[in-house]
Amino acid sequence: STPRRSRRRKSVAIAYEPGQGDGAEPQTPHWEPKHWQEQLQRIREMRRSRDAPVDEMGVDKCYDTSAPPQVMRYQVLLSLMLSSQTKDQVTSAAMLRLRQRGLTVDSVLQMDDATLGRLIYPVGFWRNKVKYIKQTTAILKQKYGGDIPSTVEELVQLPGVGPKMAHLAMNIAWDSVSGIAVDTHVHRISNRLKWVKKETKYPEETRVALEDWLPRDLWREINWLLVGFGQQTCLPVNPRCSQCLNQDICPAAKR
């Protein structure tokens, strides 16, 4: 007897939109947020004076521009490690104290933990950062001849270095745009403006979501632009919506 044919029909993926019917490849419409260009232009306008803490004391202002390139890159990485969970003013002051001691790979390796801790205090999680800085600096000496790695993949392998720091290090130290650096401000504002298709919980999710639609030539600018905007106007608590030029086109605005 012939085996019974299964009554369940196999579902066939339809490879064209209804009405096409010619077997052509589907054209996925490119998603982008509503009003994003206008919102971006208005944020640029609000940031025109460049007087937020990030502009005056951010990581790109913390290293010695007259130092040899290798030393400069090391100082960029160190300031990024210190900046995590720390206000720009505090990071800037800690970097100044370190630089007054002559901030190089060798000087940090020769420094005892207590001295390093005293110099970087009160940055956030300073005890952990002492440990990470020592471990990372030793790796840079042994594996990279005292320089920092030139890829995101290698940078995030270093103790205490996350994706945001790695993309900023590529940008500032190597003058290379590898991705969008997403910190707490960029993450918060991207969700408030609905610059992500669906709400994201973590900065890394936000980075992937932003890179999916934001034109690459804007990737370098977007970090400092949104960080300063987040420090001055789009605050974490009690955002200053009444002072924001985007009030009429922001989904999160308190009108």
User: What's this model's pTM, rounded to 2 decimal places?
Assistant: 0.86
Evaluate whether residue 81 is within a structural domain.
yes
Instruction: Work out the average pLDDT over 84-110.
Output: 97
Q: For 33-50, how does the pLDDT look when each residue is reduced to its tens digit (9 = 90+)?
A: 999 999 999 999 999 999
- Same domain (yes/no): 89, 164: yes
- Same domain (yes/no): 101, 123: yes
* pLDDT exceeds 50 at position 19: no
- Same domain (yes/no): 137, 200: no
Evaluate whether residue 22 is within a structural domain.
no
H helices, E strands: number in the chain: 12, 0
Domain residue limits at 213: 34-49+179-254
- Same domain (yes/no): 109, 151: yes
Instruction: Work out the average pLDDT over 193-220.
Output: 98
Buried b (16+ CB within 10 A) or exposed e, 167-198: bbbbbbbbeebbbbbbbebbbbbbbbbbbbee
* Boundary of a domain, candidates 146, 176, 206: 176
* pLDDT exceeds 80 at position 52: yes
Tell me if residue 198 is catalytic: no
Residue 15 has a pLDDT of 40
Q: How confident is the model at residue 4 (pLDDT cuts 50, 70, 90)?
A: low
* pLDDT exceeds 70 at position 132: yes
Q: For 61-79, how does the pLDDT look when each residue is reduced to its tens digit (9 = 90+)?
A: 999 999 999 999 999 999 9
* pLDDT exceeds 70 at position 28: no
Cβ-contact 125, 117 below 8 angstroms: no
Residue 29 has a pLDDT of 73
Structural domains counted in the chain: 2
Q: How confident is the model at residue 102 (pLDDT cuts 50, 70, 90)?
A: very high
- Same domain (yes/no): 72, 142: yes
- Same domain (yes/no): 75, 91: yes
What is the helix (H) or strand (E) element at residue 142, kind and residue range?
helix 126-143
* Boundary of a domain, candidates 129, 153, 176: 176
Q: How far apart are CA 111 and CA 93, in angstroms?
A: 19
Evaluate whether residue 9 is within a structural domain.
no
* pLDDT exceeds 70 at position 117: yes
Q: For 160-175, how does the pLDDT look when each residue is reduced to its tens digit (9 = 90+)?
A: 999 999 999 999 999 9
Q: How far apart are CA 59 and CA 245, in angstroms?
A: 27
Q: How far apart are CA 253 and CA 234, in angstroms?
A: 10
Cβ-contact 161, 136 below 8 angstroms: yes
Which of these is catalytic: 164, 197, 198, 201?
164
